[in-house]
Amino acid sequence: MSEIRLTLKIWRQQGPDAPGRLETYESGPISTDMSFLEMLDVLNERLTLEGKEPVAFDHDCREGICGMCGAVVNGQPHGPEKETTLCQLHMRHFNNGDTLVIEPFRARAFRIEKDLVVDRSGLDKMITAGGFVSVNTGGAPDANAIPIPQKNAEEAMDAAACIGCGACVAACPNASAMLFVAAKVSHLSLLPQGHPERARRALDMVKEMDELGFGNCSNERECEAACPKGISIRNIARLNREFLKAAIFSNED
């Protein structure tokens, strides 16, 4: 274990309509065993004792699975480590004397609530539009009634691993949510249970994405690079196929 000191430039914004600005803080001594969020905890404890308002940031499980945390560190959502959420990023990946610029996930569809906290309810709205299988509780057939090839189940799982953090949107120059929508459409179109609604789902989720103000995909691949769960952009290709098939060949309107 060793200690480093950092200069932190953190986005402070009192509320959605208030002006925001970067404020500079000296981190004080930071153990390299700390996680990034623990480093923010230490700063917040100090600010609190100085009678100042701590930095608001979203977080919950701190195991990299709930998808609640996330901020842009030096221009990269969730920071520099590949396939790592902010809560699993450890300070040993930074050097003594580094300056870190810490900003919220920015997108037209993500309103800033306070400091690093943003409103990602758009992601829920896209799931509401069609990211489900219409089956009521009770009456489901035996779980082994429909065999699913292992490869399909694995591929579906690759896509289903999305944690809904919104880093893909923050990374995209167009603030597109294509990777998020593609992950859900892929997950369900790879499984037989998702087939009856696959055309409707693709059309509805894409429509909702457009209406919420997310941008279009222009193949920048930033989303894939930022995704803490390594969701592949091949899913976007699959979404495009699903969408085109639905728009041209299905009898859904």
Task: Pick the closer one to another protein by CB: 198 or 215.
Answer: 198
Residue closer to another protein by CB (options 67, 77) is: 67
Would you say 227 and 179 are in contact if contact means Cβ atoms under 8 Å apart?
yes
113-150: burial string, b at 16+ Cβ within 10 Å, e else = bbbbbbebebbebbeebbbeeeeeeeeeeeeeeeeeee
Q: How far is the CB of 56 from another protein (least distance, A)?
A: 6
d(CA 172, CA 215) in angstroms, rounded, equals 9
Closer to another protein by CB, 26 or 45: give it: 45
Beta carbon of residue 219, minimum distance to another protein (angstroms, whole number): 27
CB of 118 to another protein, least distance (A): 8
Identity of the residue, 134 or 219, whose beta carbon is nearer to another protein in the bound complex: 134
Which ranges of 88-197 does DSSP label H, i.e. alpha helix? 121-130, 150-160, 167-171, 178-189
Which residues are 111's β-sheet partners?
Answer: 119
For the bound state, the minimum distance from the C-beta of residue 35 to another protein, rounded and expressed in Å, comes to 8
